[in-house]
Amino acid sequence: MTVALEGRPARSRPSLVNHDLTTASGIGLGVSMLWFSLLVLIPLTAVMVTASSGGWGEFWRSITNEQTAAAIRLTVTAAAAVTLANIVTGTAIAWVLVRDRFPGKGLLELVIDIPFALPTIVAGLVLVSLYGNDSPLGLHLANTEWSIYLAFLFVTLPFVVRMVQPVLEELDLEVEEAAASLGASRATIFRRVVLPSLAPAIAAGAALSFARAVGEYGSLVLLSGNLPFESEVTSVRILSAIENDNRAAATSIAAVLLVISLLVIVALDVLQRRVARRG
């Protein structure tokens, strides 16, 4: 062993320095980071900075404004309820897609992705056509609080399904057979063997679906009617603040949403690492 080696601090990574970038990849990283900063990081920082520039009192006044507080309450309640619903239905849908087999199943796969790819304004229009005033079902949900739940359910449909499905596909059927051979009933197998393996994926899907719902705007425009204290969500409050040129209020409410997004991203990072470890 040489002196140079002894002097080197112990490190868990195989590299000697803390990066292994070549000139070309270094430039690639630099340019990418510049673009990412200009597009995402600096603008989002601007929101936080502007929100805090008026001080805590100003911020607090903005978000506790009666109408805004009602909008935040409605958005978070609906997003939470829809996320819970997605945990159940999303897992059920993933289960059917992976384990069941029947003609036309491929079509369901397509249907799952539609809410993700469909423009949100079109999603709103789509929902109005079945649940609006001309509803062929006689369900008039438009312009009520329920329209929020409906729109959230629509736009967040794919998240839990698409997180759970690949994990379920990789699940070793032999483990379930082993549990069955040890006398476990199907319900017990699901609860004690399958569910624990799916839990991180379900949680990651739930986090994404909560974040998406909390920030939703487009699908509500034509559907909810934006009635204050009844069907007005947080995004709409931000937009009205922007249109009234009330920067302080707009950025304060936006900061609340942004914090939620950041929390979700942290949760997602932790959960996805766990999903990867299981896979």
Partner 1 sequence: MSIDVSGVNKRYGDFVALQDINLTLPTGQLTALLGPSGGGKTTLLRIIAGLETADSGSVVIEGVEATRLPVQKRNVGFVFQHYAAFKHLSVARNVAFGLEIRKKPKAEIRAKVDELLQLVHLDAFADRLPSQLSGGQRQRMALARALAIEPSVLLLDEPFGALDAKVRKELRDWLRRLHDEVHVTTVFVTHDQEEALEVADEIVVVNEGRVEQVGSPDQLYDEPANDFVMGFLGEVTTLGGVRLRPHDVEVATVPGSGSLPGTVTRALRVGFEVRVTVDVAGQDALATVVMTRTHARALRLEPGAAVWLTPADGATAVAGSRPARPAEEAVAG
Partner 2 sequence: MAETRRVTAGPATYVLRAFVIAYLVLLVAWPVVLVGTNTFENGTTAITEVFSDPDMVHALRLSAVAAVVATAVNTVFGVTISMLLVRKQFPGKRVLSALIDLPLSVSPIVVGLALMLVYGGRNGWLGPTIEGWGLQVVFATPGIVLATAFVSLPLVIREVVPVLHELGTEQEQAAQSLGASGWQTFWRITLPSIKWAVIYGVVLTLARSLGEFGAVKVVSGNVLGETRTATLAVEEKYLNFDQEGAYAVAFLLASVSVLAILVVFVLRARGTRHRAFERQS
- Amino acid present at 223: L
Tokens of 160: 């839990």
What value does the CA radius of gyration of the chain take, rounded to a whole number of Å? 24
Selected from 80, 87, 125, 248, the binder of partner 2 by CB under 8 A is 125
Q: Which of left, alpha, beta for 272 (phi over 0: left; psi -120 to 50: alpha)? A: alpha
Work out what residue 254 binds among partner 1, partner 2, none; the CB cut-off runs from 5 to 8 Å by kind. partner 2
Tokens of 17: 């320095």
**In the bound complex, what is the minimum distance in angstroms from residue 278's beta carbon to partner 1?**
24
**DSSP per-residue letters across 192-255:** IIIHHHHHHHHHHHHHHHHHHHHH--GGGTTTTTT-TTTT--HHHHHHHHHHTT-HHHHHHHHH
- CA-based angle 83:272:174, to the nearest 5? 95
**In the bound complex, what is the minimum distance in angstroms from residue 199's beta carbon to partner 2?**
19
Give the Cα separation of 279 and 270 in Å (integer): 15
Q: Identify which of residues 6 and 174 has a Cβ nearer to partner 1 in the complex.
A: 6
**In the bound complex, what is the minimum distance in angstroms from residue 3's beta carbon to partner 1?**
10
Selected from 7, 14, 104, 106, the binder of partner 1 by CB under 8 A is 14
Selected from 56, 117, 181, 183, the binder of partner 2 by CB under 8 A is 117
Q: Identify which of residues 5 and 24 has a Cβ nearer to partner 1 in the complex.
A: 5
Work out what residue 88 binds among partner 2, partner 1, none; the CB cut-off runs from 5 to 8 Å by kind. none
Instruction: Kindly indicate which of the ranges 6-14, 31-39, 55-63, 72-80 contains the residues binding partner 1, using the contact rule CB under 8 A.
Output: 6-14
**In the bound complex, what is the minimum distance in angstroms from residue 3's beta carbon to partner 2?**
25
- Helices (H), ranges, 11-65: 23-36, 42-53, 55-64
**In the bound complex, what is the minimum distance in angstroms from residue 8's beta carbon to partner 1?**
8
**DSSP per-residue letters across 133-198:** TT-TT----TTSHHHHHHHHHHHHHHHHHHHHHHHHHHS-HHHHHHHHHTT--HHHHIIIIIHHHH
Give the Cα separation of 89 and 245 in Å (integer): 41
Selected from 8, 25, 192, 229, the binder of partner 2 by CB under 8 A is 25
Selected from 81, 184, 199, 221, the binder of partner 2 by CB under 8 A is 221
Residue 8 makes contact with partner 2 by CB under 8 A: no
Site for partner 2 in 37-56 (CB under 8 A): 39-44, 46-47, 50
Site for partner 1 in 15-44 (CB under 8 A): 16
List residues near partner 1 by CB under 8 A. Answer: 1-2, 4-5, 10-14, 16
